Structure 1
Amino acid sequence: MNSPQARFAPSLDSLDPVLRKKFAQVTQIFAEMEQVLVAYSGGVDSTLVAKLAWDQLGERALAVTAASPSLLPEDLEEAIEQAQVIGIRHEIVETHELEDPNYAANPINRCYFCKRELHDTLRPLAQSRGYDYVVDGLNADDLSDYRPGVQAAVERGVRSPLAEVGIRKLEVRQLSRQLGLPWWDKPAQPCLSSRFPYGEEITAEKLRRVGAAERYLRSLGWRQVRVRSEKDTARIELPPQQIHEFIQKTDLEALVKAFQAAGYLYVSLDLEGYQSGKLNRVLNSV
């Protein structure tokens, strides 16, 4: 096996000195852990963590992805491909959050029950393989958002190296690009359960329906897109600057037919455009 130094030789001279310092701190964290299991979704954050773990620890790092109905199959395939590019060992486990009525009821702290299921699956796996640490891709910006899943991770001793040293989302992308990761600008892709308003029950069929709708939009070339699902209505969200182009270029009749074939009765376009965490606005009005 190559030494970490042989695998890891990027030039970070062009980075801001503050970010170079954070990078040195986060790599030191991994070196001190000695062996680690990465909760790896395939998103840009956890993929950077997997890359850093591999560069420092080699075969003493393991990336594990949880497969469930809330993860699009193509997102799982991307996670597999990215792990292969990095070189890190990668395994897939199944999680069963939909079987938890606390999760399926979709309360405002749904993510707590999701992360509880995830880490109650990963922790025993880590212990059985001799890994003292489980780490995730939480970054410093996530700490200022409403993320009840963080509590579940903390309760189970999960560490968040990026957040620990103050690496923010933009810096995650900067480091990923500098390290030569081709998916450094990959759009955020939270689980499909985040498409439903709090209080609407989540089922496997609803996840399939919203997944099919987003898959159709992706097939048209729209990378950063959300389909917000509320009962029989689908509401499409795109970056504000792309709305006009979307209306001009899209065969709207074909789109409506595709969405109706997926199971929706009504299709709408959010004229405000995509904003991360938009569904959390209801929390501020209570």
Structure 2
Amino acid sequence: MVSIEEVITSITADLAEFDGVLVAFSGGVDSSVVAALANEALGDNAIACTAKSETLPEAELEETRQIAAEIGIRHKVVEFSELDSDAFRRNDEERCYHCRTMRLSAMYDVAREQGIEIVCDGTNASDPGEGHRPGHRAVEELNAYSPLLEHEVTKAEVREIAHEFDLSVADKPSMACLSSRIPTGLEVTEERLTRIEKAEQILRTWGFEQFRVRDHDGLARIEVASDELEAALNPDFVRTAREHIADLGFDHVTLDLHGYQTGSVSPETNNARTDTSSAENSDDPVVEDVFAVEDSTGANRSQ
């Protein structure tokens, strides 16, 4: 069995064959590991590049700066807007394909400016089989290099490598762009992205680690990790969520009792519905309006 140390040696030797690389850098554990390996192999000839757009929370952008500094790799930020694309805003099953194509194209533009030919991404060996992921097709079409996938490094091994490099993101939960919170078929707009970001900042402030706020038009569906469900039912948090998330423009605020689930609004698992009347007889997420309050007439309402 190959040790993690041998995997690290193999990948760094591989990357050292290039004159330079630019790493598509989101600040997640996968891209951070690739950035650390590239920095180890190439030093100043390695660059981490983050794409800034409406789908990246400001808090995540700031984290990329901190993590790049932690690694010691050069860091650049390129700005663009996915909302310029009608195909992206349409939010069909190919949304991730359009997003990844635009992001990687922006990375290649920066790479060319720096005289670099190779753009790397953080796809690992566990990714291709995990549900509907059209973004991988964009990686293949644009010929981005995925060293973790090339060396058959699984997600668990990625975290082991992160620990070897003593990266602060070694145990960071997986994150995805804000548009992943919007069900397929519902248009991606700046207004929706903004209110999702603000709603999730409330959960971040309360110390939740694995969470999503799914935007079902007028309904905000909160998902938290199963071991954080009890904290989500804390009366003080319920009051805060009810008052502040509702103020962002949602008619209803709900808690999904199934907890956080990757891709719960993706095409193959799009069972999250704003109409929960048949939840008991289906495989839909169990959604409870725990944020219901009584108005002055005594009637139950949601905020």
Query: TM-score when scaled to structure 1?
Result: 0.90
Aligned residue pairs total: 270
Structure 1 runs (4+) greater than 6 angstroms displaced: none
Match of 1:257 in 2: 243
Please tell me whether residue 240 in structure 1 is matched to residue 226 in structure 2: yes
Question: Residues 184-223 of structure 1 correspond to what in structure 2 (within 5 A)?
Answer: 184-223=170-209
Larger mean CA deviation between 28-37 and 224-233 belongs to 28-37
Per-residue displacement from partner, 1:236-278 (whole Å, max 9, x unpaired)?
Answer: 1111222123213643122111101112110001011111122
Matched position secondary structure for 2:126: helix
Matched position secondary structure for 1:37: strand
Unaligned stretches of 5+ in structure 1? 1-15
Distance 2:140 2:268 in 1: 26
Please tell me whether residue 140 in structure 1 is matched to residue 101 in structure 2: no
Shift of 1:283: 5.5
Please tell me whether residue 166 in structure 1 is matched to residue 180 in structure 2: no
Match of 2:56 in 1: 71
Larger mean CA deviation between 121-130 and 161-170 belongs to 121-130
By percentage of residues, which structure has more helix? 1
Question: Residues 260-279 of structure 1 correspond to what in structure 2 (within 5 A)?
Answer: 260-279=246-265
Question: Residues 124-139 of structure 1 correspond to what in structure 2 (within 5 A)?
Answer: 124-139=109-124
Distance 2:95 2:87 in 1: 7
Question: Residues 10-159 of structure 1 correspond to what in structure 2 (within 5 A)?
Answer: 17-145=2-130, 146-159=132-145
Letter in 2 for 1:38: V
Conserved 8 A contact 1:102-1:113: yes
Conserved 8 A contact 1:227-1:237: yes
Per-residue displacement from partner, 1:81-130 (whole Å, max 9, x unpaired)?
Answer: 11111111111001221110000010111011001111221213212321
RMSD over aligned Cα atoms: 1.6
Unaligned stretches of 5+ in structure 2? 272-303
Conserved 8 A contact 1:237-1:270: yes
Match of 2:283 in 1: none
Matched position secondary structure for 1:140: coil
Conserved 8 A contact 2:54-2:82: no
Conserved 8 A contact 2:264-2:270: no
Q: Which has the larger Rg?
A: 2
Distance 2:237 2:120 in 1: 44
